[in-house]
Amino acid sequence: MEKALVTGTDRGLGLAFTDLLLREGWEVFAGQYMQGETGLAALAQEFPDRLHITPLDVSSDESVDRALATVSGMTDSLNLIANIAGIMASTVVESDPEKRDSPTGDGTIFDPMHSDALLRLYNVNTLGPMRVTNRFVHLLLKGEGDRTLVNISSEAGSIQTPTVERDFLYGYCMSKTAVNLQSKFLQRSLAPHGVRVFNIEPGYMKSFIITGTYRSEAAVECADSARGIYRMIRERRDVDGDIYFRYNGEKLEW
Ligand SMILES: NC(=O)c1ccc[n+]([C@@H]2O[C@H](COP(=O)([O-])OP(=O)(O)OC[C@H]3O[C@@H](n4cnc5c(N)ncnc54)[C@H](OP(=O)(O)O)[C@@H]3O)[C@@H](O)[C@H]2O)c1
């Protein structure tokens, strides 16, 4: 049975991807960050033998170490690490400057900059996936069959061809540009070991990331994004080819 570690699984894409993996027959170690969300608990009732819920705050060395100890107690190998957890740390999403609100300073260059909020953004979005990969990669190297690392980045991190030319949200955008380089770097390190790396833009999803409330006006269902990502990791075989894709398989420029 194939085994996956997934981060940020309480809701949004992480929950949808966990749901999909379980229905595809995987054993899943799901990183739980939030208290009180019911999605994982419902899946645990349905898949009591294959879903292992593990507390995991990707911004904390201690939390990731504890999760590693827990997972290592149940398996000595993984086939997939999916780094999905992420934050936006801002409600600065309106294109109309009058409507922009920048409580974290992650606004335009003319807004006040709040370093603590931005450091948290990098700790979660950029160092988070690196921290998890660093701790768990030895389990991935021991996996039998396909081994895959997925980093959920964003089109917002593309320097060359972002679909939206933003002059705000610089903290989030830069945090994802750094994820892009991280994925490329990891591909160089892991391809010789037969591990495939994907750096994915999951689409403008109906999730919770911007305000903490469900964004029904967004374009893509999390389940559809999850399905597209899964199809890609099933179908693209080469370890040293392109790695930056939209969830539907479209290649993105860096
Ligand atoms: N939604 C989009 O349109 C979109 C577009 C491009 C890229 N992305 C990326 O897609 C990924 C998933 O986003 P989503 O839209 O599904 O967001 P979401 O609905 O907010 O889900 C993300 C989950 O990760 C959790 N999380 C936050 N900090 C964490 C930490 N330190 N450790 C572990 N988990 C943590 C969140 O908890 P809290 O709610 O408490 O923060 C939430 O449960 C993110 O990396 C995001 O940057 C999203």
Mean pLDDT value across residues 215-220: 92
Residue 93 has pLDDT above 90, yes or no: no
Nearest-angstrom CA–CA distance, 77 and 136: 9
Could you tell me the distance, in angstroms and rounded to a whole number, from the CA of residue 192 to the centre of ligand 1?
30
Nearest Cα residue to 254 out of 170, 161, 176: 161
Domain 3-246, CATH number (from 3.40.50.300, 3.40.50.2030, 3.30.559.30, 3.40.50.720): 3.40.50.720
Burial class (CB in 10 A: 0-12, 13-18, 19+), 80: buried
Residue 31: enclosing H or E segment and its boundaries? strand 27-32
Q: Report helix, strand or coil for 117.
A: helix
Could you tell me the distance, in angstroms and rounded to a whole number, from the CA of residue 29 to the centre of ligand 1?
17
Could you tell me the distance, in angstroms and rounded to a whole number, from the CA of residue 127 to the centre of ligand 1?
14
Residues of the chain above pLDDT 70, percent: 93
pLDDT confidence tier of residue 237, bands split at 50, 70 and 90: confident
Per the CB < 8 A criterion, the answer to whether 55 and 30 are in contact is: no
Q: What is the pLDDT of residue 97?
A: 53
Residue nearest to atom 39 of ligand 1 (CA): 212
Comparing 82-86, 114-118, 161-165, which segment has the lowest mean pLDDT? 161-165
pLDDT confidence tier of residue 99, bands split at 50, 70 and 90: very low
Pick the more confident residue, 36 or 202: 202
Per the CB < 8 A criterion, the answer to whether 8 and 85 are in contact is: yes
List helix spans (H) across the chain: 12-23, 39-46, 61-72, 115-122, 128-141, 170-190, 222-235
Residue nearest to atom 3 of ligand 1 (CA): 204
Ligand 1: atom nearest CA of 156 is 6
Encode pLDDT of 190-199 as tens digits: 999 999 999 9
Residue nearest to atom 14 of ligand 1 (CA): 12
Residue nearest to atom 34 of ligand 1 (CA): 8
Residue whose structure tokens are 């945090």 = 175
Nearest Cα residue to 171 out of 110, 104, 97: 104
Residue 55 has pLDDT above 90, yes or no: yes
Q: What is the pLDDT of residue 95?
A: 46
Q: Report helix, strand or coil for 156.
A: helix
Burial class (CB in 10 A: 0-12, 13-18, 19+), 117: middle
Q: What is the pLDDT of residue 94?
A: 45
Please give the radius of gyration of the chain, using alpha carbons only, rounded to the nearest integer.
Answer: 17
Could you tell me the distance, in angstroms and rounded to a whole number, from the CA of residue 112 to the centre of ligand 1?
25
Mutate to test the pocket of ligand 1, among 10, 121, 209, 210 (most ligand atoms within 8 A of CB): 209
Encode pLDDT of 117-151 as tens digits: 888 899 999 999 999 999 999 999 999 999 999 99
Q: What is the pLDDT of residue 110?
A: 79
**Phi then psi for 168, rounded to 5 degrees?**
-140, 175
Residue whose structure tokens are 């964003």 = 154
- Mean residue pLDDT of the chain comes to 91
- Ligand 1 neighbours (beta carbon < 6 A): 7-8, 10-14, 31, 33-34, 56-59, 84-87, 124, 128, 152, 154, 201-202, 204-205, 207-209, 212, 218
Q: What is the pLDDT of residue 220?
A: 97
Considering the entire predicted model, what is its pTM? Answer: 0.95
Q: What is the pLDDT of residue 75?
A: 98
Mean pLDDT value across residues 70-93: 88
Mean pLDDT value across residues 36-41: 93
